[in-house]
């Protein structure tokens, strides 16, 4: 009989600060990201048969191109399966990031760290260094996040590399809108960390709105697939704030709704008409799990 090892890693939602974790930015300024690992997973399985032939397979619960860091989680699971026991979570996250860099990925490190660590984290990126500040809000605030931040899959697959390439080309040309947008997104990450730490709903909403403004300065195409559908609900007060998960241009959108059944019903009705599907989620406190 052969020997096997299965590894499970969560994917993530990024609340604020995504883009500022990319080395092109955080090599000059500190990036600040707040994200949440959720209960949807990538699983990698390593099998060594009786003839010492090695097989590694992995599968995802969510499609790639969703904006939920699926590719990053997949590579964390792969590194963990290959390495076996003994590696620290941050080591496996960095291995996964370096592996993707070799393959030409120009994104940042937040996906890999969220998947490896689990939970709600404020991550600070300073060059190649990552500082982790675990956020531990009360059960009541966790429930507010899980009940009022709704996720919807637009089923429009984005290609994050293409979106990144356009933004970073303008960044290297010192485009003022891109520079201003990235600083605003970074500041939104700091505000989100403070908001969750102090359990201030209004500041969570303010932070997400800051992200929206900053991202639109990077490239309005990032949010255009969602704008015409969500903006009318925002105007009516049913939606407090919203943003694309990940690089945008499609994939999954996160929507903070007003805390009443009328707002939720209006949103769900609109999503049904748009043929977007809701993704039910909860916070996943564990990162890499050997099974």
104/162 Cα distance (integer angstroms): 12
Residue 4 has a pLDDT of: 78
Task: Write down the residue that tokens 């590694």 correspond to.
Answer: 56
228/260 Cα distance (integer angstroms): 23
Give the pLDDT band (50/70/90) at residue 104. Answer: confident
Domains of the chain are: 3-137+283-290 (3.30.230.10), 141-279 (3.30.70.890)
Give the pLDDT band (50/70/90) at residue 1. Answer: very low
DSSP state of 40: E
Q: Which residues pair with 34 in a beta bridge?
A: 16, 122
**Cα torsion 150, 140, 260, 239: sign:** negative
Q: Flag whether pLDDT at 85 surpasses 80.
A: no
Q: How many residues does the chain have?
A: 291
Question: Which residue has better confidence, 192 or 106?
Answer: 192
DSSP state of 283: B
Burial class (CB in 10 A: 0-12, 13-18, 19+), 238: buried
Closest by CA to 143, choosing from 283, 287, 285, is 283
Does residue 82 contact residue 98 with C-beta atoms inside 8 Å? Answer: no
SS3 49: coil
188/212 Cα distance (integer angstroms): 10
Across the chain, what does the average pLDDT equal?
93
Q: Flag whether pLDDT at 83 surpasses 90.
A: no
Give the pLDDT band (50/70/90) at residue 159. Answer: low
The reported pTM is: 0.94
Does residue 131 contact residue 220 with C-beta atoms inside 8 Å? Answer: no
């Amino acid at each position: 009989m052969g020997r096997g090892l299965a590894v499970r890693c969560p994917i993530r939602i990024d609340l604020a600060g995504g883009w500022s974790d990319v080395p092109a930015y955080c090599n000059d300024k500190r990036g600040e990201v707040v994200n949440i690992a959720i209960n949807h997973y990538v699983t990698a399985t390593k099998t060594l048969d009786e003839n010492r032939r090695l097989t590694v397979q992995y599968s995802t619960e969510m499609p790639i191109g969703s904006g939920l860091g699926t590719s990053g989680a997949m590579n964390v699971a792969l590194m963990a399966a290959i390495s076996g026991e003994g590696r620290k979570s941050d080591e496996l996250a960095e291995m996964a990031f370096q592996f993707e860099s070799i393959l030409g990925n120009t994104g940042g490190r937040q996906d890999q760290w969220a998947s490896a660590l689990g939970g709600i984290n404020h991550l600070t990126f300073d060059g190649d260094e990552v500082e982790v500040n675990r956020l531990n809000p009360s059960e009541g605030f966790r429930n507010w996040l899980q009940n009022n931040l709704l996720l919807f899959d637009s089923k429009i697959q984005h290609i994050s590399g293409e979106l990144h390439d356009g933004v970073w080309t303008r960044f290297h040309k010192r485009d003022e809108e891109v520079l201003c947008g990235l600083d605003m997104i970074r500041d939104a990450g700091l505000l989100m960390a403070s908001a969750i730490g102090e359990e201030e709903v209004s500041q969570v909403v303010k932070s997400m709105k800051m992200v929206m403004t900053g991202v639109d300065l990077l490239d309005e195409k990032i949010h255009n697939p969602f704008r015409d559908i969500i903006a009318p609900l925002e105007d009516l007060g049913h939606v407090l704030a919203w943003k694309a998960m990940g690089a945008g241009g499609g994939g999954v959108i996160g929507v903070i709704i007003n805390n009443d059944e009328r707002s939720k019903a209006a949103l769900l009705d609109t999503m049904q008409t748009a043929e977007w599907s809701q993704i039910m989620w909860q916070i996943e406190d564990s990162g890499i799990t050997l099974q």
